[in-house]
């Protein structure tokens, strides 16, 4: 094994970049060519089918069989031109990642052969055996049926030889078994709640959109070295490993030159993404060595979330072509930064107004402040729930660990908006208000410049930061489905906007003008939030933890405990009131969350124990044996071992550490065996949380051995090799 590790390292180091594809065409010419988008609809559908389909997409009308057949016919023609042979319903179950079941597009032709077929039924609905997907007990396994149904608002796309149809995944009794269903409901709730408020400002608004722009962080490691690390392969992170002498302390990786093998990977990825209509825009090195980030141009939330799921699949595939494996884990390496997925989020209208950006005039700015304040109020009301929505066994390694995010949800406003809110709240009730913009007609009482956020006014320690025209929810983990966070955020804002509109209506019926009615409703809300959810300081300090508790913000640090947020009466009221989840679905989802939490830690503990016993101890003993022989030989030549103090001390260290590893591995195994016996999902998760605390105990003597044992004998690729080869 010792020789093998060196061979692997040598091989990886010498790898040359596989040249990336270089399309002859401009991006704009191949962008979206593998998506059945509007352009294809116009080309491949007859006019009545097109009209009905657009009514489904834009007006939310149900898809009838005749339309489905017509659409399927057109899609088939398009797919055949791309040499497609299979179709799959592509969905997002409650696991990480996506699921797909492929069917060949053939049927008997009645003459002993087959013909290509694809009809409306195959497009609209499929019944995958749902029993092996997590459901939290919604479906007992004997009634394993769930079904997938096409979401016409998500465009159909081609991957390799397969036509992929984005679908929702639902049980036969109607409960959602996926991320997409509740996300769509939350988006419907928030856009419908925002609409009447927008109409107070501009009656011509007829639709509101929720927007998401994600920033995906990831690590790349050489695939040969990856394969030699069981822990990386099975759990997605290193469970041992001594921190390398150089890691990120020089800050020389961030925005550094992109290594050529990585650049080739990025290029191929971008080409594939652009063909699939995913508007990838930004790519750069991240803070940690071998850590990178990519981001698209933001889009409608449901679509953008689909695209994030597609991108993660593409990254897995394309990385292999370049001899890499992508790590999405939130904390693959101890001691250096982990990976997140910032969710940039905003609302906008069909008239082109960004509701979280300063307006062009007084009313525009009042509209901006209205949405701004209501978002903050929703985040305050459900701060514990929002934290729960991003919590997981893996994200727990980031939460509260001195890198975004702290385990408390607060919002960062920046100097300008903090000053604006403070000023607004001081104004006596009923004051006619003018909030002037840059082009404000008069010197208003409160001024908001049109563009006011500069990059220095950023607080990296805040989990929820205002960045000029959007909020950036930074706490989302790198492997997560963005929907987890987006469902809660959009639903919470929907609830708040509904309450706000009702309160404004009351003021209006008392005869106030629109602006005064809005201001008078806003002011008490601002007073309630400005010194609670709004926090401009350093989110990593202990002082903030105390201060946050005093302010009544949720400071829970236990992940299994956080999940209970979902079934608190306030949360149930919010989710049922917005039509996003039933109470039964919330309970079932919590079961899934606790189960997943326990399983992840159970797998890690089992991998840790095996590696300790099968890899680490044998390597340490091999070196010990060699040292013992050395001492023995010395004695036979010089008559005494008195001069072998270094060897003897090494032998003692190894003996002690091996004993410690053996003991701690045993303790870990025993603890996991007892935890497995616990029936109740929550109680079992709590037991596994305790087990996770034992990991460091076992890791310590192993990392010590790594420092002591002959480098040539050490079986596992080291951090310096994993992190600096690209």
Number of residues this chain uses to bind Mg ion (CB under 5 A): 1
3-state secondary structure of 415: helix
CB 494 within 8 A of CB 190: yes
Question: Is the Cβ–Cβ distance between 435 and 448 less than 8 Å?
Answer: yes
Beta carbon of residue 155, minimum distance to ligand ADP (angstroms, whole number) = 19
451 is an interface residue for ligand ADP by CB under 6 A: no
Kindly indicate which of the ranges 81-89, 134-142, 340-348, 685-693 contains the residues binding Mg ion, using the contact rule CB under 5 A: 340-348
φ and ψ of 104, to 5 deg: -70, 145
Which of Mg ion, ligand ADP, none has residue 213 at its interface (CB below 5 to 8 Å by kind)? ligand ADP
- What's the token pair of residue 508? 């209006």
Which partner, ligand ADP, Mg ion, none, binds residue 717 by CB below 5 to 8 Å per kind? none
**Which 204-233 positions form the footprint of ligand ADP (CB under 6 A)?**
211, 213, 215
Query: Cα–Cα distance between 378 and 374 in angstroms, integer?
Result: 6
- Report in angstroms how near the CB of residue 344 gets to Mg ion at its nearest: 6
Minimum distance from residue 462 beta carbon to ligand ADP (Å):
12
Among 185, 470, 664, 684, binds ligand ADP (CB under 6 A): 470
204 phi/psi in degrees, rounded to 5: -85, -5
| Cα–Cα distance, 632 to 621 (Å, whole number) | 16
Which CB, 308 or 605, lies closer to ligand ADP? 308
3-state secondary structure of 212: strand
* Piece of 2-10, 339-347, 417-425, 448-456 that binds Mg ion (CB under 5 A): 339-347
Which residue in the set 345, 368, 372, 563 belongs to the binding site for ligand ADP (CB under 6 A)? 345
- Taking the alpha carbons at both ends of the chain, their separation in whole angstroms is 23
CB of 255 to ligand ADP, least distance (A): 11
The helix/strand/coil state of 325 is: strand
Sign of CA dihedral 133, 138, 140, 146: negative
Q: Which stretch binds Mg ion (CB under 5 A): 66-74, 205-213, 336-344, 450-458?
A: 336-344
Spatial contact of 403 and 335, defined as CB atoms under 8 Å apart: no
| Span of 38-46, 236-244, 270-278, 337-345 interacting with Mg ion by CB under 5 A | 337-345
Q: Does 277 bind ligand ADP (CB under 6 A)?
A: no
Residue span binding Mg ion (CB under 5 A) among the ranges 182-190, 221-229, 335-343, 542-550 = 335-343
Q: Does 287 bind ligand ADP (CB under 6 A)?
A: no
Determine the 3-state secondary structure of 70 from DSSP.
helix
Binding partner at 606 among Mg ion, ligand ADP, none, C-beta below 5 to 8 Å by kind = none
Question: CA-CA distances (angstroms) from residue 333 to 72, 261, 265?
Answer: 47, 21, 22
Among 308, 346, 389, 395, binds ligand ADP (CB under 6 A): 346
| Residue (296 or 323) nearer to ligand ADP, CB | 296
Record the tokens describing residue 307, joined without a space: 């695209």
Is residue 342 part of the contact set for Mg ion (CB under 5 A)?
yes
In contact, 220 and 309? CB cutoff 8 Å: no
- In terms of CB distance, is 282 or 674 closer to ligand ADP? 282
Residue whose Cβ sits closest to Mg ion: 342
436 SS3 class: strand
Q: What is the rounded CA–CA span in Å between residue 619 and residue 713?
A: 6
Partner that binds at residue 297, options Mg ion, ligand ADP, none, CB closer than 5 to 8 Å by kind: ligand ADP
Span near ligand ADP by CB under 6 A; candidates 194-202, 234-242, 296-304, 698-706 = 296-304
Which of 2, 153, 354, 416 is in the footprint of ligand ADP by CB under 6 A?
354
Rg of the chain's alpha carbons, rounded to an integer? 29
Count CB atoms within 10 A of the CB of residue 443. 8
Tell me how far, at minimum, the Cβ of 347 lies from ligand ADP, in Å.
Answer: 8
Return the closest-CA partner of residue 473 out of 338, 610, 662, 342: 342
Considering beta carbons, is residue 293 or 434 the nearer one to ligand ADP? 293
Q: Are strands 324-327 and 114-116 parallel, antiparallel or unpaired?
A: unpaired
How many angstroms separate the CA atoms of 502 and 520, rounded?
13
Nearer to ligand ADP by Cβ, of 181 and 344: the residue is 344
User: Closer to ligand ADP at the Cβ: 213 or 364?
Assistant: 213
Residue found by looking up tokens 């939290």 in the block: 136
Residue 296 binds to ligand ADP (criterion: CB under 6 A):
yes
Closest residue to ligand ADP, judged by C-beta, is 213
Task: State which of residues 31, 147, 209, 298 lies at the interface with ligand ADP (CB under 6 A).
Answer: 298
Q: How many residues bind ligand ADP (CB under 6 A)?
A: 14
Does residue 368 contact residue 353 with C-beta atoms inside 8 Å?
A: no
Return d(Cα 61, Cα 63) in angstroms, integer.
Answer: 6
Burial degree of 250 (CB within 10 A; 0-12, 13-18, 19+)? exposed
Cα dihedral sign, 387-390-396-402? negative
Residue ranges binding ligand ADP (CB under 6 A): 211, 213, 215, 282, 295-298, 344-346, 354, 469-470
Residue ranges binding Mg ion (CB under 5 A): 342
């Amino acid at each position: 094994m010792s020789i093998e590790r060196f061979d692997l390292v040598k091989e990886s180091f010498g790898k040359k970049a596989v040249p990336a594809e270089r399309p002859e065409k401009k991006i704009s010419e191949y962008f979206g060519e593998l998506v059945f988008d509007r352009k294809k609809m116009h080309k491949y559908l007859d006019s009545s089918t097109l009209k009905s389909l657009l009514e489904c997409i834009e007006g939310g009308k149900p898809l009838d069989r005749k339309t489905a057949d017509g659409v399927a016919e057109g899609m088939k023609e398009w797919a055949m031109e791309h040499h497609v042979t299979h179709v799959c319903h592509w969905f997002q179950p409650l696991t990480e990642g996506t699921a797909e079941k492929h069917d060949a597009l053939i049927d008997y032709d009645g003459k002993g052969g087959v013909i290509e077929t694809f009809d409306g039924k195959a497009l609209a609905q499929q019944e995958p055996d749902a029993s092996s997907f997590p459901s939290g007990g919604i479906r007992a396994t004997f009634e394993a049926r769930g079904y997938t149904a096409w979401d016409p608002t998500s465009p159909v796309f081609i991957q390799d030889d397969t036509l992929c149809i984005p679908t929702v995944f639902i049980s036969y009794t109607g409960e959602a078994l996926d991320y997409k269903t509740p996300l769509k409901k939350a988006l419907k709730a928030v856009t419908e709640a925002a609409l009447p408020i927008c109409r107070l400002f501009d009656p011509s608004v007829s639709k509101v959109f929720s927007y998401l722009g994600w920033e995906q962080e990831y690590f790349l490691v050489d695939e040969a070295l990856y394969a030699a690390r069981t822990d990386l392969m099975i759990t997605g992170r290193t469970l041992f490993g001594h921190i390398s002498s150089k890691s990120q302390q020089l800050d020389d990786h961030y925005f550094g030159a992109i290594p050529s093998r990585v650049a080739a990977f990025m290029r191929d990825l971008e080409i594939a993404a652009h063909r699939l209509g995913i508007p990838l825009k930004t790519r750069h090195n991240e803070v940690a060595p071998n850590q990178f980030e990519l981001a698209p141009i933001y889009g409608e939330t449901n679509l953008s979330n689909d695209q994030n799921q597609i991108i993660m699949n593409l990254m897995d595939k394309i990385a292999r072509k370049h001899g890499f494996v992508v790590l999405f884990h939130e904390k693959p390496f101890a001691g250096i930064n982990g990976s997140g997925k910032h969710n940039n989020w905003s609302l906008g209208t069909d008239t082109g107004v960004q509701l979280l950006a300063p307006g062009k005039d007084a009313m525009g700015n009042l509209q901006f402040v209205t949405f701004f304040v209501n978002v903050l109020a929703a985040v305050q009301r459900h701060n514990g729930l929002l934290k729960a929505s991003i919590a997981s066994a893996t994200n727990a390694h980031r939460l509260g660990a001195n890198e975004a995010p702290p385990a408390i949800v607060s919002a960062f406003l920046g100097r300008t908006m903090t000053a604006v809110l403070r000023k607004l709240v001081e104004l006596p009730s009923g004051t006619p208000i003018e909030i002037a913009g840059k082009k404000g007609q008069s010197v208003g009482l409160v001024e908001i410049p049109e563009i006011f956020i500069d990059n220095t006014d950023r607080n990296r320690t805040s989990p929820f930061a205002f960045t000029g025209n959007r909020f950036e929810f930074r706490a989302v983990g790198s492997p997560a489905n963005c929907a987890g966070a987006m469902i809660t955020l959009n639903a919470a804002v929907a609830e708040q906007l509904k309450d706000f509109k009702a309160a404004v209506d009351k003021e209006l019926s008392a005869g106030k003008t629109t602006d005064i009615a809005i201001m008078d409703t806003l002011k008490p809300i601002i007073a309630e939030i400005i010194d609670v959810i709004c926090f401009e300081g350093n989110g990593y300090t202990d002082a903030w933890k105390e201060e946050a508790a005093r302010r009544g913000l949720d400071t829970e640090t236990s992940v299994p405990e956080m999940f209970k947020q979902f079934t608190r009466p306030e949360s149930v009221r919010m989710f049922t009131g917005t039509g996003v989840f039933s109470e039964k679905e919330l309970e079932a989802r919590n079961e899934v969350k606790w189960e997943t939490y326990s399983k992840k830690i159970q797998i890690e503990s089992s991998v840790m124990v095996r590696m300790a016993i099968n890899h680490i101890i044998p390597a340490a003993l091999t070196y010990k044996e060699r040292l013992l022989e050395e001492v023995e030989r010395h004695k036979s030549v010089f008559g005494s071992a008195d001069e072998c103090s270094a060897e003897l001390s090494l032998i003692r260290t190894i003996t002690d550490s091996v004993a410690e590893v053996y003991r701690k591995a045993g303790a870990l195994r025993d603890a996991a065996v007892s935890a497995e016996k616990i029936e109740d999902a929550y109680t079992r998760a709590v037991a596994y949380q305790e087990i996770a605390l034992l990991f460091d105990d076992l890791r310590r003597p192993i990392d010590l051995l790594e420092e002591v044992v002959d480098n040539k004998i050490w079986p596992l690729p080291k951090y310096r090799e994993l992190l600096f080869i690209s």
